[in-house]
Structure 1
Amino acid sequence: MDPGNVVWFEIATSDAEPVQKFYSELLDWTYEIDPDSSINGIRYIRIIAPKAPFPMGAIREAPDQPTTMNMSIISEDVPTDTERLAKLGATVQIPPTQVADVTWFAVLTDPRGNAFSLFSQSKSERFAERMEQGGKAMSEAAYAPTPGAMGWFEIGTTDAVTTQDFYRQAFGWKFELDDSAGGKPYYNIFTTNEWPSGGMYDHGTGGTDYLMPSFLAADVPAVTTQGERLGATIEVAPEPNPDGLVFARLLDPDGNRFGLFSLPDSMNAGN
């Protein structure tokens, strides 16, 4: 897993139970406690998608913590990157923090106010085998995510130039206009891979700024309807692209934004 890749997401909350209940009923997630990161009154709960070989994210439960969601980006050196990104216009929300010998992490917001975290892989010998196995599993899952899994991330921006400039300088990301989006100002994002792993939607000055995960769904309209029934708000109703991809954007009961998408039939045929 190379630095600059988005490979994880985190939900911070003071009460994990309603978060777990909503997403397990909506996307069939299961959970397990991470004993290495659950310390000092904090519970770190790994999130596992159906049939997934490895966790894709976590819930961080801590006292007096509002419920928020952010994407996580691999860093080779969290303190150094935090200082560098602050000079590029990011704001530090949680300074670089070491969690035993497990990881370093920090939480920042980009120049448009979108939260993201940096985290480093453990170099401890006792985690070497786990990280090697997990890295392989996450790589395999990235090629063929199953319904309920995070398969994409999306940036929504009201200032495309500022957004692109920041992430290019911060992580070396590349942005290419998506010709399959039916004329929408949508850009594929290439992190460190040869294929896109996320996208940027240029909403213009009257739109919305966000950075969110998107989860694969076998039937986007059905899952969207179920989400509303469970207390979510539909921000963008299910819409098809000309290539057959269907997407929707929702706010969960705590107001955290996430996307749903189904693959075009041509891609499903190859699975």
Structure 2
Amino acid sequence: MKVIGKLPGAPCWAQLSARDPEAAKTFYGQLFGWTAETDPDPQYGGYTTFSLAGSPAAAVASLMNPQQPVMWLLSFAAPDVEAACADAKSGGAQVWMEPMDVGDLGRWALLSDPTGAPFAVWQTGKFSGFGVAEESNSLAWIDLSTRDKNAAVNFYKGLFGWQVWSDEESYPMVGLADTMFGGVMDMGDMFPPEVPSHWNPFFLVADVDAAAAAATKLGAEVMHGPVDVEMENGPRIAVVRDPQGATFGVFAPRES
């Protein structure tokens, strides 16, 4: 069952905040075959939707201020943004941007979880989010790197009703409707202490090694991999930092 973009509490959108949206359009267009369409309405500040075969796959927007990091931001579907924010606050989250209307497209709020990882909640209006997901060159997994794995798991479980699979204690996996769509990793000593907790999108590709090589030729840095994940039925993955500094992953099922 596909749940990304389909159920309340599931990831429903991925947006890149970039210093140079035009360069981002070129990079991701060449890497994933995405086409870019910029909204002409000035109230949206050049917001650009990436599409794959005509269906919305992600977006890119300019940084809201120069101090903001270049990063991918994940949004989760919420039937009621106000209620989601209230529940998140009760669970220890911080609300950075209170619920607001985004034209007639939907209603949105920006938060950070109790471990510091930014995320957004989205209440559907005319726009529901992903038109394509869990297919090649689209988002198909999300990964949280956090300084407090247990606190993060409990927070999202309480907020969104996520199921948690903890067979792999070092990497509990999360999802809805008996379907996994993400995992939670303890950052430990693998990350410098100044790196905060953060979500990363993972995009499904046909060939991880080819995608990593293509990203490198386009000016990105492969930070990890390509490598086979050492767990039963684990995929092959690579983690990439794009030319402007945003990190994301690519993965493919391992050939048996």
- For Structure 1 versus Structure 2, the TM-score category normalised by the shorter chain is 0.7 to 0.9
- 2:225 and 2:64 mapped to 1: Cα distance? 35
- Gaps of at least 5 residues in structure 1 are 267-271
Structure-to-structure mapping, 1:78-227, within 5 angstroms? 78-122=81-125, 127=126, 138=132, 141-142=133-134, 145-146=135-136, 148-178=137-167, 185-190=170-175, 192-204=176-188, 207=191, 209-227=197-215
Aligned equivalent of 1:233: 221
User: 1:41 Cα deviation (Å)?
Assistant: 5.7
SS in 2 for 1:168: helix
Deviations 1:222-262 (A, max 9, x none): 22122223222222121113536201112112221101101
Q: Which has the higher strand share?
A: 2
Listed one character per residue, the Cα deviations across residues 183-207 of structure 1 (whole Å, up to 9, x for unaligned) are x8222211x3221011222343654
Matched AA of 1:202: D
Match in the other structure for 1:29: 34
| Aligned counterparts of 1:63 and 1:116: Cα–Cα separation in 2 | 15
Q: Structure 2 vs 1, CA of residues 23 and 229 (structure 1 numbering), >3 Å: closer, same or farther?
A: same
Aligned-pair identity in percent equals 28
* Contact map agreement 1:14 1:63 (CA 8 A) in 2: no
* Residue 95 to residue 39, structure 1, CA distance change in 2 (3 Å): farther
SS in 2 for 1:96: strand
List runs of 5+ in structure 2 lacking aligned partners. 1-5
> 1:250 aligned to 2:240?
yes
Distance (whole Å) between structure 2 residues aligned to residue 226 and residue 44 of structure 1? 26
Partners of 1:241 and 1:89 in 2: CA distance: 32
Instruction: Note if contact 1:239-1:247 (Cα within 8 Å) is conserved in structure 2.
Output: yes
Question: Taking structure 2 as the reference length, what is the TM-score of the superposition?
Answer: 0.84
Counterpart among 65, 71, 77 of residue 74 in structure 1: 77
- For 2:39 and 2:178, the matched residues in 1 are separated by 32
CA distance in 2, matches of 1:178, 1:57: 31
2:3 corresponds in structure 1 to: none
- 1:238 & 1:154 partners in 2: Cα distance? 16
With structure 1 as the length reference, what TM-score do the two structures score? 0.80
What does residue 2 of structure 1 align with? Answer: 7
Higher share of residues assigned helix: 1
Whole-angstrom CA distance in 1 between matches of 2:38 and 2:15? 14
